[in-house]
Amino acid sequence: MGKAEKGSHGNSILTGKDKRCYVTGRTEGLDKHHIYHGPGWRSISDRNGFWVYLWQPLHLAALGGLHKYPNSGLDLELKQACQRKFEETHTREEFMEIIGRNYLEEEAEREERPEGGFYLLDEMEEEG
């Protein structure tokens, strides 16, 4: 058989196939969390492996998880960790083409937003 030409689909770029909570290492009570979430973003996150498993209390807004505090705390940490990981093998430009936003501000040089190329992410909450 030829070599499996497997894309990142199905694998998390942070944890591969490892089905355990990214934070606690737990293997039960897990949800798949799409790191860049919101309407229309699940499939983009899926396609690029931008997801991790999280223990539900760390995930669900109703349980005080990260969806309760978007773009801060663990949610932001994951967005940064994922971007950092992606940029080990890709350029920032490539990341920006996919996500349209740079989460590594502390490492970023002052960049101008490309005209018309800046996507406003709708941060409406959606479990995912």
Residues at the interface with Zn ion (CB under 5 A)? 33, 128
The token duo for 110 is 């002052």
Provide, rounded to whole angstroms, the least separation between the CB of residue 112 and Zn ion.
31
**β-pairing verdict for 51-55 and 30-34:** antiparallel
Cβ(51)–Cβ(17) below 8 Å: no
Give whichever of 22 and 95 is closer to Zn ion, judged by the CB atom: 22
Give whichever of 100 and 128 is closer to Zn ion, judged by the CB atom: 128
For residues 54 and 26, give the distance between their C-alpha atoms in angstroms, rounded to a whole number.
Answer: 8
Cβ(28)–Cβ(7) below 8 Å: no
Give whichever of 64 and 118 is closer to Zn ion, judged by the CB atom: 64
Provide, rounded to whole angstroms, the least separation between the CB of residue 11 and Zn ion.
17
Provide, rounded to whole angstroms, the least separation between the CB of residue 54 and Zn ion.
7
